[in-house]
Structure 1
Amino acid sequence: MEKIPTLHWATAAVVRRLRRRAGLSQGQLAGLAGLSEDYISGMERGIQCGSLTAIMHIASALRMGAAELVHLIEAEMAAGPRPPGRRAGKPPRREGE
């Protein structure tokens, strides 16, 4: 099966935008969705696009239907998303933290 190059970036942009709109940190969204903060961070950095199960949990945490979340990701793909900026995702941990 061939990868869809823009899927990761579109997922990153949509999840980040919706999380920020909801006023949630990555950790808060992760907790509400039953996922790890690293998983959410990876999605927002475009490293992974998330399983169907994760999409279902994220949508529920954001109080929306999974179909609506997927529709927003499709619309973002159609708009030609770009790779997330270098500052996307959680910052690296500093020594001693």
Structure 2
Amino acid sequence: VSAGYFRNSVDENSLYAMYQYTPLQLGRYLRVGAMAGVVTGYPGYNDGGIAPAGGLIAKLEGERMGVNFIVLPEIRNVTPTTLGLQFKVRLDR
């Protein structure tokens, strides 16, 4: 599960919450799968309110650090294809 804030491609504030499912493991550090959830801040869809979101994700994770590569497909007349990059650090060890 992930949640957060970003400034989106139509220059609005967005909040998101996503569930990530990455069943395919490629090598020791790479997992690939999909994500689905909700996002806000796109005026062309539901007046910027809560909207569905989904896409593909690849997670590159080591012992303490990782990177997520995200692709969200275009929703015609609402959002462009979106590429995301998240950096993460494990704090519990």
TM-score by length of 1: 0.25
Q: Which has the higher contact order (CA 8 A, sep 6+)?
A: 1
More strand as a share of residues: 2
Q: Tell which structure's C-alpha radius of gyration is larger.
A: 2
More helix by share: 1
